[in-house]
Chains A and B, each alone.
Chain A
Amino acid sequence: MARQNLLPRTAPFGDGERASLDAVLGAATPVQRAWLAGFLAAFDAAGGQPAAAPSAPPKAAEPLTIVYASESGNSEALAGNVAKLARKQGFKPKVVDFSDLDIASLPKAGKLIAIAATWGEGEPPARAVRAYGELMGEGAPRIDGVDFAVLALGDTSYVEFCAIGKALDARFEALGGKRAAERADLDLDFEKPAADWIKNTLKALAPAETPDNVVAVDFARAAAGEDDEAEPSREPVVVEVVEHVNLNSSRSDKETIHLALAFEDGAPAYEPGDSLEIFPENDPQLVDEILNAAGLLGDETLRQALLAERDITTLSAATIERFVKATGHADAQTLIDSGEARAWIEGRHLIDLLATFPATLTAEHLNTITRPLPPRAYSIASSRKEVGDEVHLAIVAVRYETHGRARSGVASVHVADRIRDGAKLRVRVKPNRHFRLPQDPATDIIMVGPGTGVAPFRAFVQERRAIEAPGRSWLFFGDRHFLHDFLYQLEWQEALEDGSLTKIDVAFSRDQPEKIYVQNRITHNAQELVSWLEGGAHFYVCGDAKNMAKDVRAAVVRAYEIAKSLSPADAEAQVAALERSHRYQQDVY
């Protein structure tokens, strides 16, 4: 290996030291050399200690703005990964949540990476709605000279796959930006391709030559750790089910499983507001139906893979295309060609495809056609301060029928039907920094959580009980029937008794002729609700994203109209201000 003697003989080092330094520096990239220069400057400035900040900042590293639009936290996690890697490579990354994004700052971004999730039927994540709207609107600034790249996350089981990422990619270009790397549209199994994309994109964004040979190193950040909260391990852990009970009465048409999971070696450091991912298994009966349809009954290895590793329910246009590619099935090809595939997949699953277009498949085919089975995330319903080394979840069993077939949610029905006390589950904590109790325990909180949306609020109330938080708390809960669906009813009664819950309002939609929902209770209580909010209360919503969260937001706007005699626009501004100050937080799905 060619060795370059970089240090002059006059350098104040012994020969051995000089050789060692040459060994490192000679092989170093310009970026590494620049980083080292910055490091040493800052080190000296701090008097030989890692410093809070270098007194004389050396020349700046290449700034990189990473914006993310995240709903479930995946985009956010990836943004963090980008920042970590970018910092190593000499960038000065700045991570910005779309909810905090000032679009006027974009023209000065220089280099820009956007990571965007697509939600529901082609919508931006809730927190991103405002900035996304501004960016797509007429008032958006030009970003000439900005190098950008977009990473799109989505779910191929939805028709508008990665719509938001695609729209951003096109928009940045239209506004004058220069695409530094091709966009990637990633499905639920994004982790590996995302890592590749990040590596390649950072390479593409890196300057050909380091502009200066000194890079700023922020010791404050290094000393404090990357983040405010320690990041729990991404490695799945096996836990034992210690309580498994259906919270709905035997007269209910719903089934909500309360799960208590015990961690043998101590529960991970989760916080109220975080989620827990469960690695489910597929319904063995469905696996057998698929094996039967594919003519692969008896292949035990494949059976095990389909049980635990492959997503054998989702059917998307992409699935059909892969199926046609694998089998050359003419009728399935016709379905695609006719343009009716999108309509056909509505309410159908993989088994319908295999049953409708019979084909003999190989194990390899099935692997190609299906995606990896993703974990499912559930809001944690407990506080470690109350339950110790356990995590509690509330999971509603999803069962319905379409096209003459009984369907079931993969994880929820796995938990409901095939998991019992003593069973083991593979799980992983998924942090949610955007759904957090107020720093100050004296701050009031208002929680809106119908159905299993109440789960994180059980954690909130447990936490605030444990720390004896002086702030008031107000819960809005709703479901179908008071007698049969009042999740954790006895616990709320106790919480009201001991003061950890101040007030509860309930909405049971099917107990009376007209439907009553939590949003109705919010407007009923307009005066008091607004008075809490004006006193600094934080407002939390958890549960259904499609209707409930929007209706609740509209109800809060309406509450301001009623309580303060405001115009709809002024009331809207009040709620928008709450959102901007992170006092209106959502965990919706």
Chain B
Amino acid sequence: MDDHSPRDDAQALAPTPAPRVYETPPKDRPITDAEAARAAQLAANEHIKIASGYLRGGLADGLLKHATGAISEDDGQLVKFHGMYMQDDRDLRPERTKKKLDKAYSFMIRLRIAGGVISPQQWLALDDIAVTYAGSALRATTRQTFQYHGVIKSNLKRTMAAIDGALLDTIAACGDVNRNVMAATNPAQVGAHGAAHRLAKDISDSLLPKTSAWREIWLDGERVVGGEEEEVEPVYGRTYLPRKFKIVVAVPPSNEVDIFAHDLGFIAILDKNNQVTGWNVTVGGGMGMTHGEPETFPRTADVMGFVAPEDAIKVAEAVMTVQRDWGNRKNRKNARLKYTIERYGLAAFRAEVETRIGKTLGEPKPFTFTNNGDRFGWTEGDDGRHHLTLYVPSGRIKDYEDGPQFLTGLRTIAQVHEGDFRLTANQNVIIANVPTEKRAAIEALVDQYGITKGAGALRRNSIACVALPTCGLALAESERYLPDLMTELEESLATHGLAEEEITIRSTGCPNGCARPFIAEIGLVGRGPERYHLYLGAAFDGSRLSKLYKEDVAASDIRDTLDPLFADFAKGRNPGEHFGDYLIRAGHVARTVNGPDFHDRTGALKPAGHA
């Protein structure tokens, strides 16, 4: 994209918007009294939070119910704040009842790794946990962290103790809190990466829930006798946030962290020496929506202003607490910050943030993003250290039968590596800070275990969420299906001379958006078994949402739907023009300005294959 923010872009190209009328923001702090919450008809999760005693609920007792691998429904909501989701193996569901077995419950455990940086010692500890308790697989996620799948209830405490032993935790990795803070990995820009990582870490620490419930429940820690509410959770209070809250830190020109897809973002503004002079602040991005409910929509973030480095954490806390107080607690489908900003307006929101930090924000500084993918292979940092970005299909670090040995290979590398590891927001892994003299040895191990340093252009730009069999929300396959679809599409692209064309493609099993499908040039969102909504027309750099191009496409028809569009693109594109931009210019699909018009003018605007 050119040198402007997406909002500028939208304003330049959109028709004059009708004047918006915004609601008046609330004055009071959130309701924390059970009676009052009922009277106000707050969402069910608000009652659970109020009753939980700062995230304790019935978890300790639930762990002692030996006949079931599950915990209660309410505790299932609370356990998210501790970094886990209760799931069950959906592949096994059909046989279980007949066999007089309960659902095959297990837990997904997500770590909190701010900025995605871990040491080789931590890697080895996490590997050991994977082998011992989690089916010998680590899953690098789209939130720049690891998650484990398939940990059974009786092993939860052991697993948490082992994670604690690696000086890591899972606090607030899920739930209505600030989740794992992402930061640019930017191996080539050592100074900027350092600043981004530090900011991510500082935000993560300062916005971490303070309740001792996690230690008590999982590590048999002593219960810290609670004082006044303000002392237990001075920032969050008894009811935490209305909904999940996601923060990222980007360093241009790479938008690898997908800044526009998150509630709050910081874009590094660099001087000529690549030093950070301050941050542009973005607010109100988010992916999730619900099929068939047009009042739910994905939204790209607005650039709200500029902040000096020393004020960044204050701004982060202020943005989060305004959302804490203004966010909708009656309807969880309308609770993310993006809806708060749509309801009260960016101006009012910004004014409240400025009131809370006691100063005004500067005007946004110019910045340029070129892409939202990773740079595969070796890069050299400006300090002379080397970084190897590996391509990890769907982030799944395991040993493939007759294929790459990601788990064993990376374990072996961790045993000799002196630098660190970085996880990327695109589910890949960087072996970072390799001294020149060690580069050959690392390279040899990577090759020995068949670990991939890259892939075809489409795969390099792909993300898939986990979906089936573990995710309870999935309506269709994602991680297990996308590789096969990409094989089909690669054939199609090759016939049009587009084999090396960089096109972002992302799939999710449901519309909640974990793989950020609505800002991919090709987005597939599960609708039902082997059926997907096909979204097209997003920007390659992640700054513009896509549009529903075709509803409810059978998996077997996806290639045939895209093939004529590839043909048109190959013939009609301008030099350097990306697929998503072309489809809009050529009139195949309407441009989405932002969330509120996401559901307008959907569908193919003209027949494909006639360019």
Contact = CB atoms under 8 A, between A and B. Distances in A.
Tell me, yes or no, whether A binds B.
yes
B67 A496 contact: yes
B412 interface: no
A250 to B, nearest CB: 6
A182 interface: no
Interface in B89-105: 89, 92, 95-102, 104-105
Interface residues of A, number: 27
B106 interface: yes
B101 A258 contact: no
Contacts of A482: 69, 152, 154
A245 B98 CA distance: 8
A247 B155 contact: no
B29 interface: no
Contacts of B154: 482, 508, 511-512
A490 B92 contact: no
Interface string A468-484: 00000000000000111
A248 interface: yes
B101 A249 contact: yes
A250 B152 CA distance: 17
B100 A488 contact: yes
B132 A513 contact: yes
B274 interface: no
A491 B66 contact: no
Contacts of B101: 247, 249, 486, 489-490
A506 B67 contact: yes
Nearest to B70: A493
B99 A249 contact: yes
A346 interface: no
Interface in A17-59: none
B135 to A, nearest CB: 11
- A-side interface mostly: mixed
Contacts of A513: 132
B368 interface: no
A570 interface: no
Given A489-B100, A489-B101, A490-B101, A249 B66 contact: no
A511 B99 contact: no
A249 B91 CA distance: 11
Nearest to A513: B132
A500 to B, nearest CB: 13
Nearest to A508: B154
Contacts of B67: 489, 492-493, 496, 504, 506
Interface string A491-521: 1110010000000111010011100000000
A251 interface: yes
B158 interface: yes
Contacts of B95: 249-250
Interface in B67-113: 67-69, 89, 92, 95-102, 104-106
A506 B100 contact: no
Nearest to B105: A483
Interface residues of B, number: 23
A362 interface: no
Nearest to A493: B67
Nearest to A501: B67
B131 to A, nearest CB: 10
Given A483-B152, A493-B67, A512 B100 contact: no
A246 B98 CA distance: 9
B97, B100, B102, B105 — which one has the most chain A CB atoms within 10 A of its CB? Answer: B100
Contacts of B100: 245, 247, 258, 487-491
Contacts of B152: 482-483, 511
A328 B154 CA distance: 61
A506 B152 CA distance: 14
Contacts of A489: 67, 100-102
Interface in B101-146: 101-102, 104-106, 132-133
Interface in A247-264: 247-251, 258
B68 to A, nearest CB: 6
Contacts of B104: 249, 483-484
B565 to A, nearest CB: 42
A488 B104 CA distance: 14
Contacts of A258: 100
A488 B99 CA distance: 8
B137 to A, nearest CB: 15
Contacts of A247: 99-101
A245 B101 CA distance: 12
Interface in B132-189: 132-133, 152, 154-155, 158
B68, B96, B133 — which one has the most chain A CB atoms within 10 A of its CB? Answer: B68
A511 B69 CA distance: 13
B109 to A, nearest CB: 16
B134 to A, nearest CB: 12
B128 to A, nearest CB: 10
A97 to B, nearest CB: 36
Contacts of B68: 493
Contact of B155 (A249, A484, A491, A511): A511
Contacts of B97: 490
Contacts of B98: 245
A490 B69 CA distance: 11
B102 A251 contact: no
A249 B104 CA distance: 9
Interface in B22-72: 66-69
Contacts of B102: 486, 489-490, 493
Contacts of A483: 69, 89, 104-106, 152
Contacts of B92: 249-251
A56 B99 CA distance: 63
Contacts of A484: 104
Contacts of A505: 66
B96, B98, B99, B106 — which one has the most chain A CB atoms within 10 A of its CB? Answer: B99
A489 B103 CA distance: 10
A486 B133 CA distance: 18
A490 B101 CA distance: 5
Contacts of A249: 92, 95-96, 99, 101, 104
A552 B158 CA distance: 26
Contacts of B132: 512-513
A452 to B, nearest CB: 14
B233 to A, nearest CB: 34
A487 B104 CA distance: 13
B387 to A, nearest CB: 35
Contacts of A508: 154
Interface string B214-257: 00000000000000000000000000000000000000000000
Nearest to A250: B95
Nearest to B94: A250
B558 to A, nearest CB: 30
A482, A484, A492, A511 — which one has the most chain B CB atoms within 10 A of its CB? Answer: A482
Contacts of A492: 67
Contacts of A504: 66-67
A255 to B, nearest CB: 11
Interface string A157-173: 00000000000000000
Nearest to A505: B66
Contacts of B155: 511-512
A492 B65 CA distance: 12
A246 B99 contact: yes
16 contacts: A245-B98, A245-B100, A248-B99, A249-B92, A249-B96, A249-B99, A249-B101, A258-B100, A483-B152, A484-B104, A486-B102, A489-B67, A489-B100, A489-B101, A512-B155, A513-B132
Given A506-B67, A513-B132, 20 more contacts: A245-B100, A247-B99, A249-B92, A249-B95, A249-B101, A250-B95, A251-B92, A482-B69, A483-B89, A483-B105, A484-B104, A486-B102, A487-B100, A489-B101, A489-B102, A491-B100, A493-B102, A496-B67, A506-B66, A512-B133
Interface of A: 245-251, 258, 482-484, 486-493, 496, 504-506, 508, 511-513
For the complex of A and B, list the 3 residue pairs with the smallest distance between their C-beta atoms, beginning with the closest: A506-B66, A483-B104, A490-B100
